[in-house]
Amino acid sequence: MPNELPTALMLGSRFRSLSLPCSPLTIPYDSGNTRGTEVPKTYLTKDIHVRLTGDLVVTVAVTLKSEAPLGLIAKIELAGDGNETIWALSGRDAYRLAHIFHGQSAELVAPAVGVGTNPFSASFILSAEAVNMAVPVDSYLDLREFEKTELRVTWGAVTTVIATGTATISATTQIEAYANQSTEGLEAIGFRRYISFDDRILTGSQTDFSMLIPRSGLLAGILFRTDRDDIAVNDILNFITLTSDGAHDHFKRRSFASLQAENNARYQLGQATGRLLGYAFVDLLEDGRLASAINTEALNELKLTLDVTLGGGTTRVLRATYLFFKPLRRAVAE
């Protein structure tokens, strides 16, 4: 009968999910340079799993910088045909975004600090899908419109991992990348997920330090990170205000500490130990619905006003990583 429900055997015989290696599978370490691998475009990309492995070869005992060895991934990008950047963010921020959207921290094994060859590893998921939102398939990536899509890594020097001491990064250090894909969902895709960032080196304490947010589609969230001399700290960013067109406050004088505490409650960012040093995430969606995101292209201005304290140290950096969704042209036309 035409309306008969499919049998269990029929359901089990339909393949949907695939895990395919990027080509080449590994991106070798190349200090200060950018190396890449091609993402397969046969099916719809849900996410890319990235794993960093290698060794820190220590000759004089070292101290480590925050979240070592993730600092080695100075920037990781997804680029279509060399000229459209879909994602651009650091390894540390990629790790924390994955932590937020998947509700748990992934592999992060720092190297030992004593003399010797000390292994390390770390991994994270770069999501194309609207993970943890109402309809994740909304933003699966259909890469067939590009001739070539590359996952690119700009490698940091050993100084992105160690604060003191003497060491080198072994020649066997590398990244493995696998694309997790689906054969179904093309008709449901309406958006593309974009990630970009702004860095600011702070030179003084201010109650009204401002940053203009780019007009790049629907703004779904912002990840803040604060570092002093490459060490994550909680005493730089005090309060956050997000205002559109000079009149409407979406976030008003929200304290960094309370936002971190809420993040911990929602995403287990700090686990039972309290707030996660240096990070806070602003979620701009209601009930995981993309329709509730801020349409930056309909605004004259979207501005962050931040209360910041310089404190000690030499270099203080504030980074904002933006999560955008852009409607696809075909979705707009429909």
In tens, the pLDDT along 220-251 reads 999 999 999 999 999 999 999 999 999 999 99
Residues 163 and 263 in one domain: no
pLDDT of residue 64: 97
Q: Which of 147, 175, 190 is the last residue of a domain?
A: 190
Annotate 211-271 with three-state secondary structure. EECCCCCEEEEEEEEEEECCEECCCCEEEEEEEECCCEEEEEEEEHHHHHHHHHHHHCCCH
Alpha helices of the chain — where are they, by DSSP H? 8-12, 91-102, 256-267, 329-333
Residue 236 lies in a domain: yes
Q: Which of 190, 222, 243 is the last residue of a domain?
A: 190
**Amino acid type, 194:** Y
Residues 28 and 151 in one domain: yes
pLDDT of residue 2: 52
Let me know: does 101 contact 256? Beta carbons within 8 Å.
no
Question: Which residues are bridge partners to 116 per DSSP?
Answer: 58
Residue 86 lies in a domain: yes
Q: How far apart are the first and last CA of the chain?
A: 34
- Of 332, 63, 9, 289, which is closest to residue 189 (Cα–Cα)? 332
CATH number at residue 233: 2.60.120.20
Given 3-state DSSP classes, what are the helix, strand and coil percentages for the chain, each rounded to the nearest 5? 20, 50, 30
Residues 168 and 36 in one domain: yes
Q: pLDDT tens-digit profile of 118-160? A: 999 999 999 999 988 888 999 999 999 899 999 999 999 999 9
Give the residue-averaged pLDDT of 318-327.
Answer: 97
Give the count of domains, the chain. 2
What tokens were used for 312?
């000690």
Residue 174 lies in a domain: yes
Full residue range of the structural domain in which residue 163 is found:
15-190
Residues 47 and 124 in one domain: yes
Residue 10 lies in a domain: no
Q: How does residue 333 score in pLDDT terms, banded at 50, 70 and 90?
A: very low
Q: Which of 165, 190, 215 is the last residue of a domain?
A: 190
pLDDT of residue 82: 82
